[in-house]
Each structure stands twice: as structure tokens, then as C-alpha cells.
Structure 1
Amino acid sequence: MDLLERLITIFAQNGYLAVFTALMICGAGLPLPEDVTLVAGGVIAGLGYANVHAMFGLCMFGVLLGDSAIFLLGHHYGARMMRWRLVAKVLTPKRYAMVQEKFDRYGNRMLFFARFLPGMRTTVYVTAGATHRVSTVRFLLIDTLAALISVPFWVYLGYLGANNHQWLMKWMHRGQNSLWLLVALVLLVLLVLWWRQRRQRTNDC
């Protein structure tokens, strides 16, 4: 709660620029939770310091820009990044090897679900870039689809709970589980749509 309160104060005083800067810090893998940052952005919108829809758009842009920067660093510098002092603190050789093995096994699915795994996100994106098996366009597409679930969830949660912190904290604690349920629901809907489209094609033939 202390971190959330501090972010709300900073964001209320400095507006959209402060939110964007915080999201760049999150994207760099530094210890600032993205979900708390997004909620704080939603809260200041709920308190009247920003427009919630503009905040959502800004947060989407900030999140995707930060993710893309990490991916492109991995793409251009690969395993050499492991020797950078700042990167080495976040991306240990053991973690890099583990994620590389998972990425080789699961590929695009790993990229999608990484957005919902805060402790692994940076490592997965660096690894995806370093393997050169994912194009920048494909990365952006997968990351955008995942962000369209997570970003509005946290921003609008903050907006709705701006004047009721007890309710907000309760749903923040429930948030990760609720977010996974939302992901499952979206995937189920996509699966049903795909199945119906395939069945329609079969009937047409």
C-alpha cells in the first residue's frame, strides 16, 4: 500500500509524464511492479487528475514500448547482455538458461503468457530477441494481444477503486488470480470462434 500511495502522489503531481516514466522503469526490469504502476495511473484518473481512456492509451503505449526495447536489446546484443552489470543483476545465467529451454519448448505461447508472469517477463523478452526466432512484428502482435488483457484490467481497476481503497486493495490482492481467469476466458472465446469458423468452412465444402 505504501508504494501505491507514493506512486499516486507522484502521478497526481506530475501527470501522464510520470506514469510513462514509471512504465519505462518497469520495462527495464527494475524493481517497480508494473501492476501497481498501472493501478496508480487508474487511481489518479478516478480522482480527476487525468482522463481514464487517455490513461489507458498512454499505459498501452508505455508498456509496449518498454517491452519492445527489451526485445530489441536481446535481438541486437543477445548473450553479450549477460556481461552488463545492470542486466546481470536481473538476468542471471541460471535464469537465462531456464527461460531459453522453456522458450525452445513453448515458443509463442511463452511470449504471450510472460506478460502475466512479472518475475519472468524481462528474461523471456530478452531471450525471445536473442534467439532470432521471433520477428519484431510477431513479437509486437503477441505482446499487444496480451497487453490488451492485462493493461485495461489494472488501469480500470484503479479507476473504479479510486475512492474506495479498501475495495481496491482487496481486488489488487485477488487481481492476479482474476487476471488469469480473464486470460482463460479470452482464450476460450477465441477457441470457440476458431472452432465455429473451421466448422463453417467444413460445411461449405
Structure 2
Amino acid sequence: MDLLERLITFFAEHGYVAVFMALLLCGAGLPLPEDITLVAGGVIAGLDYVNVHTMVAVTMVGVLAGDAGMFLLGHHYGVHMLQWKPIALLMPPRRYAQMQDKFTRYGNRLMFFARFLPGMRTAVYITAGATHRVSFWRFLLLDGMAALLSVPFWVYLGYFGANRREWLGMWIRRGQNSLWLLAGAVLVVALVLWWRQRRRNTAQ
């Protein structure tokens, strides 16, 4: 919670721009937890420094911009990125090979679920771009669908827990599991709708 308090103080002083820039750094692989950053943005809204709905919009753009930046770097520079020192530390060749294997096994679903896997997101997005197996717009769609679940969740959690820090701390600890359940429910609904549509097409 010390990190959360420091972020709250910094964001309260600098507003939306600070939150946006912090999320860009999260997307770039900086060891700054994205969920804590989003919660801190929600807390300053709950303390009336900013508007919470505007904060949700700003954080959505910040998250997607950071993710898209990593995808586009991977798409443009490919495996040459692995020679850059910051990227080499984040994703050595062995890890890149593992990410490629995961794409082979799980396909585009990996880009959706990467949003709920702290520590893996940046590696997944760079690999998605470098492998050229998915278009930018499909990547943005999948990442955006996942962000629509996670970003409002964390921001509104911070907003409603702004003056209840013990309660907030408890739900931050539970939050990742809650998001996994929500993502799983969305996936089940999507699969049911896809199955029904397929049956209709087969019957015609």
C-alpha cells in the first residue's frame, strides 16, 4: 500500500496527465503495477481531485496506447528488438520462444487473457507484433475488450474505496481473482453465442 499512497499523492498533484504517462510506462514494461496505478487514479477521483468518468476514459486511452506502442514496436522491428538492452532484460530469446509457442497453442485468445496476467502483458504484445500473425486492428479489438473489463473495475474500485483504505486494500488483493472470474464468464458467453450462430448457419 505504500506504493499506492505515493501514487495517490503524485496523481493528486498532477492530475490526468500523470496517470496517463504512468500507464504508458506500465505498457512499456516498467515495474509499476498497472492495477495499482488504475486504483490510484480512481482514488484521486473519489477524493474530488478529478472526475471519475473522465478518469476512466483517460486510463482506457493510456492503457491501450501503451499496449499498442509495444505491439507496433514489435511489428516494425521484429526480433531485432531482442538486441536492445531494455527489451533483452524484459524478454530474453528463450522467453520470446516461449511466447511464440503460446501463440501457436492459444492463438489470438492469448492477447485477450494477457490483460489479466501481470508481468506477461508487455512480452505478449511485443511478440504479437513481431510474429505478424495478427493485424493491428484485431489486436486493438481483443486488447480493448479485455481493457473494458479491467480498467473500469480498478478505477471504480479506487473511487469507491477512496475513504475506506482497509476495505480498498482487501479488494485489491481479491481483485485479480474477481477479474479472472469475470473474464471467464465473458468467454463462456462468447463461446455460447458463437456456437448458436454456427448451428444456425449449419441448419440453413
Which amino acid counterpart does residue 120 of structure 1 have in structure 2?
Answer: M
Matches of 2:195 and 2:100, distance apart in 1: 32
1:114 aligns with 2:114: yes
Cα distance per residue 1:43-93 (max 9 Å; x no partner): 111110111110000000000000000000000101111111111111112
Deviates more, 1:96-105 or 1:164-173: 96-105
In the alignment, residue 136 of structure 2 is paired with which amino acid? Answer: T
SS in 1 for 2:56: helix
Counterpart residue identity of residue 52, structure 1 = V
> 1:19/1:135 Cα in 2 relative to 1: closer, same or farther (>3 Å)?
same
Give 1:76's aligned residue: 76
Q: How does 1:5-154 map to 2 (within 5 A)?
A: 5-154=5-154
- Distance in 2 separating the partners of 1:10 and 1:91: 30
Which letter does structure 2 place at the counterpart of 1:13?
Answer: E
Distance in structure 2 (CA, Å) of the matches to 1:202 and 1:75: 37
**For the structure 1 residues 56 and 105, does the alpha-carbon distance in structure 2 shift closer, same or farther, using more than 3 Å as the test?**
same
One-letter amino acid matched to 1:93:
P
Distance 2:43 2:193 in 1: 35
Secondary structure at 1:126 match in 2: helix
Q: Deviations over 1:4-31 (max 9, x none)?
A: 0000000001000000010011010011
User: Which amino acid in 2 is paired with 1:20?
Assistant: F
Q: Which amino acid aligns with 1:136?
A: F
- Which consecutive unaligned segments of at least 5 residues does structure 2 have? none
- For 2:55 and 2:193, locate their aligned partners in 1 and report how far apart those are by CA, in whole Å: 31
How far did 1:155 drift? Answer: 0.7
Deviation at 1:163, TM superposition (A): 0.7
Letter in 1 for 2:91: L
- State the TM-score, normalizing by the size of structure 1: 0.95
1:197 positional shift: 4.4
Name the SS for the 1:129 alignment partner: helix
TM-superposed deviation, 1:188: 2.4
Displacement, 1:201?
A: 5.7
How many angstroms apart in 1 are the aligned matches of 2:188 and 2:108?
17
Structure 1 residue 96, shift from structure 2 partner? 1.1
Aligned-residue RMSD, C-alpha: 1.4
Q: State the distance in 2 between where 1:201 and 1:96 align.
A: 39
Tell me, in whole angstroms, the C-alpha distance in 2 between the residues paired with 1:199 and 1:158: 43
Residue 195 of structure 1, CA deviation: 4.2
Taking the aligned partners of 1:102 and 1:141, their CA distance within structure 2 comes to 20
1:2 maps onto 2:18 in alignment: no
C-alpha displacement of 1:39: 0.5
Mapped to 2, the partners of 1:202 and 1:107 lie a distance apart of 24
Q: Runs of at least 4 residues of structure 1 off by over 6 A?
A: none
Deviation at 1:133, TM superposition (A): 1.1
Q: Which 5+ residue runs of structure 1 have no aligned equivalent?
A: none
